[in-house]
Amino acid sequence: MRTEVNVSINKLIDLWCYRVPSWRLHEKWGKRLLGSRYRREIDERIDRGDFEVEVSGFRLRMHHDAGRSGALGEFWDVANHFLREYGYDGLVQFVLHHVLDRLSYLMTRKYDIRTVMIKLRDWLSELSRPGGEVAKAIAQVLRFVEENADEICRDLRLSSVNSKRVLLDRLRPYAQSACAIVLMKRGYFARRGFKADFSAFRQLSSLVLRKLIAFIDENSDIFADANGVIAALNALEGKYYKAYVLALRDSGHPLLRELFSRLMRFVGRCADELGLRPK
């Protein structure tokens, strides 16, 4: 006889898992590892707990991040569920999801990368003990993470919601200023005055602001120290520029000058996407 059991979230997950990477970050690294075999629905199901697992005759309704509870048996039960439902690639993605979440937690503890990797290896070694396909997937994911540790850790540092929200707020006027400059360089002038055509500016700035989070994610090397970038941008406040973005170029700060170059290229690509090419 099967018994339906609703497992509480506090029992299934460690308290450390509350700060987890975004789906955008999971997707980036899932595609880097698996390419076209990556499936977004797997990450969504892990986070939403939208499945049941049979364990010793019990039907367990899984909740958020089920499997990373610290109990070896629970991890393997859930891992084998994903292996049966999605095949080996789905199992690999399941392992990667939990590894990224574990790394995110370790980094909130202010460990350096070397210590983070030591603790990650110890955790995965424990999870690998029973062997089989799950252990094979764990070994594959660990090799991948070791090869990309610096970039992954930069991304995870940047995934702090508060830091990203402040960055977005600070970058908006510079992004809008870049839109105006790109448009004028391409010949899109207002009928009167030396300023960008309003209709073209509205189209371009709308697209750029929608994609600004993606711009931050794609340039994680610049934004790895989010608080440092924010402090550098704050130091520019009070300097009068009609075109804010030129303050980045003229700041004398190597990081801000590089930010200027990349932001201008990013806005140029957005203009191309809208068909706003040079006249």
At 220, the amino acid letter reads: S
Predicted pLDDT of residue 72: 55
- Of 214, 68, 75, nearest to 132 by C-alpha is 75
- Of 154, 161, 224, nearest to 18 by C-alpha is 161
Predicted pLDDT of residue 77: 78
32, with CB counted inside 10 A (0-12, 13-18, 19+), is middle
Q: Which of 83-87, 106-110, 122-126, 169-173 is predicted least confidently?
A: 106-110
Q: Which of 54-58, 120-124, 165-169, 231-235 is predicted least confidently?
A: 54-58
Predicted pLDDT of residue 184: 93
| Chain segment 62-78, per-residue pLDDT in tens | 544 444 544 556 678 78
Whole-angstrom CA distances from 217 to 28, 106, 160, 175 are: 9, 20, 12, 15
